[in-house]
Structure 1
Amino acid sequence: MMGSAELICWVLVASTLGHNHLVTGGCSGKCCRSRDLSCSSTGWRMDRVYGTCYCDEGCVRTKDCCFDYYTECPAQDCTVSDWSFWSGCAKPCQPSVRVRVRHVEQQPGNSGKACPSLEERAGCREYRDHQGSHCGRSSGPAFITSMEFGKGRPKHDSYGNPLDHGFCMEFKLESRTPQCSAENRPHTLWTRYIAEGFKVCVACEPPSLQNSSSSCQGDGQESHNEAVLHWQAVGNPRCSGTWKKVQKTQQCTCPPQHSFVFI
C-alpha cells in the first residue's frame, strides 16, 4: 500500500506536470513560412493532443498546428500597388497590345490570400508612327475592343487639338469565328460574349474618330443597311466575323457585354 506521504508527493508531481502542459508550448515568436519541420513546439495541438505541434504554414494542411497558431500567426493577405499607367501600343499603325503592371507590396503569409495577376493587357492601336507621322486610314475591317478597355483614351490628337465627342453605331451580328468563344486570356475574355443574331453597339470616339471625316474605320456609314461588313477583335486575331449596320445613334445603349469601341 502507498503511504500518505508518498501519495501526496505523486499528486503534487501530477499537478505540476498538468499545469506545465497548459502553460508551455505554443507559437509565440515561432511562426514560419511554408512547411518547416524545425518550426515546432511541445504543447497542445488543435486536435487536443499533447505533444509536438507546429507553427509553420503547412500545419494547416497537415492539421498538427499548435493550439494558438491562428492567434500568434494570423493570415497575411497579399497586398499590391495601384496599376501603373498604360504603356504605348507594342506596334504602331496596326492593332496591337498595351500593358500595365503593378507590384507586390507584401507577400502572403500564414495561408493568406495569394497575389492577384500583376499584369493586364488590352487591345490598342496607335495612329502615328515612331516619327510622329499619321498612319493614314485603310478600308479594311472594323477593329474593335471591349468598351472597358477603351476607357481613358485621350480626347486630343497628338498635337493637342480637341477631337469630336463621337457617336455610336448599332450592328446586328451575322457571323463570328469559333475562336471568339474559346478565348481564355484575361484581356480578350470579352470576345466570348460576341454571339450571332444579337445587336451590338460600337462607339466611334477619339482617337479613332478623325475630325476630317467624322468616322471610324469600318463603321459602315457609307454602306446600305443590307451590306455585310467585316469586323476584327483586337488582341485576338483569330476572332472575327461579319455584321450589318442597323443605325447611327448619339450614344450607345446596349448592355455592357454587347458594347464595344472602334480602335
Structure 2
Amino acid sequence: MTKTLRNISEYSILSQHIPLKVSTTPLPDYYYEEEPQFMYLEAPPTECYCDESCVALGDCCSDYTFVCPRRDCAVSSWGPWEGCVADDGICGIGVQQRTRYVTQKAERGGKECPPLKEMRTCYTQCPKRRSLDDITTVALLLDYRHNQTRSKMARDNIYWDLPSVHEKLKEATYYCVKYKIGWVNRNCWHKQFRTHLYRGNTICAECQPEATLHRSNSRCASDLDDGEQGFWKLIGPKSCNGMWTRIGRDDNCHCSQKHPDLDPFLLV
C-alpha cells in the first residue's frame, strides 16, 4: 500500500492544476478479505485561490482557466459636456465637465478604471453694459399714421439747421424692429388697437432718424437687444401698455415697405 501511494505522489505537478487525492473505500464485511480494495480520486480539502498570483504559487483552483481569469474595468463612452460654470458665478472664464460611468468593475487583479470625470476651461459671454442714458423703463409707441410728422417738423424747425444736428441727421438711418407682444393690459380695449396689440402678435416698430438725435447710440429710447423682454406703452389711449420680446432688427427699413404683413407702430 505504501508503494502505491508513493507512485501516486509522483503526480504532484499535475495536482497543482487538477488537485487529486487518493482514498480507499473498505468493502462490506460479507466480502472476502482477499478481494482487493477499490481506490478512487477526489479533490483535496486544501484551499485554492482564484487570483493572478495563484499560477506562480501553484495554488489555483481546478476551474481557474474558465472561471477565474482577471477582468479589466470597462467604462461607458463620454457623456455630453455640461454647461459652462463661470468662476464668478455670472460670466467670463469658467469650467465645464463631462462624465462617464463604470460598466464592469475590475476583478481578480484586472486593470483599474480610468478617470470618470473630465474638465476643461470655457467662457461665457458677458451681457453688454448699457450706458445710463440707454436705461429706460418703458418704450413709447405711436400710431403709424403719424410716420410723416417728424420729417415735416424738421423742415420748419431751426434746431435741425444746427451744424452738429444736421451732421448727425445725415448719418442716422431708419430701422425696423420686430417685437412679439406678451402680456397686455386689459385697458387696451380701443377698437383701433385691440386687433393689433394682443398676446402672441408680432408687430413692426419703426425707429426714425429724428427720434435718435438726442441719443448717444443712434437708437430709439428703450429699444432692447434681441431676445430681451421689456415694457411698452401706447401714446393716446389711457393705460394701454404691456410687455414684449425683441425678435430682430432690419436696417434701412420702413415698416410699411419691409414688413407690410405686420402691424406697424412708431418708436418715440
TM-score range, shorter chain: 0.3 to 0.5
| TM-score of the superposed pair, with normalisation by structure 2 | 0.40
Max Rg structure: 2
TM-score (norm 1): 0.41
Greater helix proportion: 2
